[in-house]
Chains A and B, each alone.
Chain A
Amino acid sequence: MSAVGIDDETAAGPTRPESRKPRRLALAGLLLPVLLAILWEVLVRAGIANGRLMPPPSVVGKTLWGLAASGELLTHAFATLWRVAAGFGLGAGVGTLLGALTGALPVARGLLDPTLQALRSIPSIAWVPLFILWFGIFEASKVALIAVGVFFPVYLGVAAAILGIDRKIIEVGRVFRLGRVAMVRRVLLPAILPAWFTALRSGLGLGFMFVVAAEIMGASEGLGYLLVDGQQLGRPDTIIAAIISFAVLGKLADALLLALTRPFLAWQDLGRAKL
């Protein structure tokens, strides 16, 4: 479910100097998809394969270009991005707040955590009918669904990060007689920063998952609408174009978040720079 790539884990190893090798490997990773695309194009053109249900890359590319040129793609992408941004802001904000609360205060943990854990086990899509009744069929219900999706990984990540802060480093703060505020600002906050950023990335990934669900459920614009539209008109090329757009947007949003947070994590002993 997590949007954080496997690279994160493998990159944590102590291999720093060889930064050229992974890049070459990343290029190697392109080999298979490009070869398959070329193969499919050739097969369809030669008339060996039928390109109706699985259009060849040239057709998808043409559709994508058409959508972009007419400005339609931009409209849909903007609608989707707006929903993700709103839902992510809401879910991440509340998730961070409640996560900090339950992580820091045992009372809050005892009161809130069991309920939140119970709510977490509800598949988020199950909320859709209720949200539509509550918030109507327009933007509010979609944003709410995305916010729910974003909330849980952020909440869990922040709470776990606070609980996991090394007691030893807190003791150093105590030896230097930091007050409550100074302890939070100078020790606790920096200590949870990496875990918080990772939680935000997971949340963002889930935000993109739920925006698709929300838009398939009923929307007049957005990339998810494009998916449904392609299905109803029997246009697999439109569907694939929308899927590709989702992938590009998701990756870009993740890269943006990473770029924004990276300066704060320069001290980390990780191979993050490679991502």
Chain B
Amino acid sequence: MLRFETLSKTYADGTQALSRIEVEVAAGEILALVGGSGCGKTTLLRLIAGLDQPSAGRIVLNGDTIGEPRADVGVIFQEPRLFPWLSVADNIAFGLSHLSAFEREGLVTNALVRVGLAGYEKRWPRELSGGQQQRVAIARALITRPKLLLMDEPFSALDATTRASLHGHLLALWEESRPTVVMVTHDVEEAVTLADRIIVMQPKPGRVFDELDNPLARPRDRLSPAFEALKRDALRTLDRSLRDEAPLQNKAAETAGMWW
């Protein structure tokens, strides 16, 4: 569905943010990108969103090369980035200007219920808490029913309780239309909670270090031994990527032995 082909990005100042990334993402898959700072996770996401252009290689989405923002790609940023001059309802309906007011209203009301903000239509963004604002941003990105959803550390500024409840909201929304999701996070537990596959990246230049499959069935119990083991495994891989060691060769066999 989504494929990176020898994708590289070098900024004008010579910083090589990404070097020859080769990844394929299946339709409906939730992919998490983790890694130390400066490993190019956010750069990669911006390239997929079409906000920046790759220096070499290309990103192919359903056969098309991505060069600019697309209607079937939704983005949730690290900050809510709501328009402060629009009400909650108008913010959510921002990408629906091609629909009639009546259709918009129906969709917005429905979306607000989904993110647990029913009755907040007329509020201003400033009247909402950070978690509520991020929920509005999630609704705004998902209301256009994107086939691909990109998330750049969307929950990093929130406290643990809010984050956990937003994970639930997000998964519920994802279940509805099952878009492909690529998310950047620095929180390994978040990656293990949400993702089908975790890609660990390494900085200077940004590249893929290793990847881990997450076979756990949803909903995932954060306290189960299997979850704990996977989390430990992911943390260990991340650690190794930061210390610039080679990925563990027999890792695949080891995890295979643990889960199958």
Question: Which residues of A are at the interface with B, using a C-beta cutoff of 8 A?
Answer: 168-169, 171-172, 174-177, 182, 186-187, 190-191, 193, 266-269
Contacts and interface: CB of A to CB of B under 8 A. Distances in A.
Given A176-B94, A177-B71, A267-B124, A171 B83 contact: no
A187 B49 contact: no
17 contacts: A169-B81, A171-B77, A172-B77, A172-B94, A174-B69, A175-B49, A175-B51, A177-B69, A190-B83, A190-B85, A190-B86, A267-B84, A267-B86, A267-B124, A267-B126, A268-B126, A269-B126
B85 A267 contact: yes
Given A168-B79, A177-B70, A268-B84, 9 more contacts: A169-B81, A171-B81, A174-B51, A175-B49, A175-B74, A176-B69, A267-B84, A267-B125, A268-B126
B75 interface: yes
Interface in B44-75: 49, 51, 68-71, 73-75
A168 B77 contact: yes
Contacts of A190: 83, 85-86
Contacts of B125: 267
The 3 residue pairs across chains A and B that have the minimum distance between CB atoms: A269-B126, A190-B85, A267-B85
Nearest to B75: A175
B80 to A, nearest CB: 10
A173 to B, nearest CB: 9
Contact of B85 (A172, A175, A182, A193): A193
Contacts of A174: 51, 69
Contact of A171 (B51, B85, B124): B51
A169 B81 CA distance: 6
Interface string B76-105: 010101011111000000110100000000
B124 A172 contact: no
A175 B126 contact: no
Interface of B: 49, 51, 68-71, 73-75, 77, 79, 81, 83-87, 94-95, 97, 124-126
Contacts of B81: 168-169, 171-172
A120 to B, nearest CB: 30
Contacts of A191: 85
B120 to A, nearest CB: 14
A169 B51 contact: no
A12 to B, nearest CB: 12
Contacts of A168: 77, 79, 81
Nearest to A166: B81
A269 B49 contact: no
B84 A269 contact: yes
A268 B124 CA distance: 9
Interface centre among B71, B79, B83 (most CB of A within 10 A): B83
A189 to B, nearest CB: 10
A176 B95 contact: yes
B83 to A, nearest CB: 7
Nearest to B126: A269
Contacts of B84: 267-269
Contact of B83 (A172, A177, A269): A172
A193 B125 CA distance: 17
A175 to B, nearest CB: 5
Nearest to B79: A168
Contacts of B75: 175
Interface centre among A174, A176, A177, A186 (most CB of B within 10 A): A176
Contacts of B126: 267-269
Contacts of B51: 171, 174-175
B130 to A, nearest CB: 14
A175 B83 contact: no
Contacts of A268: 84, 126
A191 B94 CA distance: 15
Contacts of A186: 94
A171 B68 CA distance: 12
Nearest to A176: B95
A187 B83 contact: yes
Contacts of A269: 84, 126
Contacts of B70: 177
A190 B82 CA distance: 13
A223 B215 CA distance: 83
B242 to A, nearest CB: 28
Contacts of A176: 69, 94-95
A213 B84 CA distance: 41
A190 B71 CA distance: 23
Contacts of A175: 49, 51, 69, 73-75
A174 to B, nearest CB: 5
Nearest to A172: B81
A93 B168 CA distance: 52
A43 B180 CA distance: 84
B74 to A, nearest CB: 8
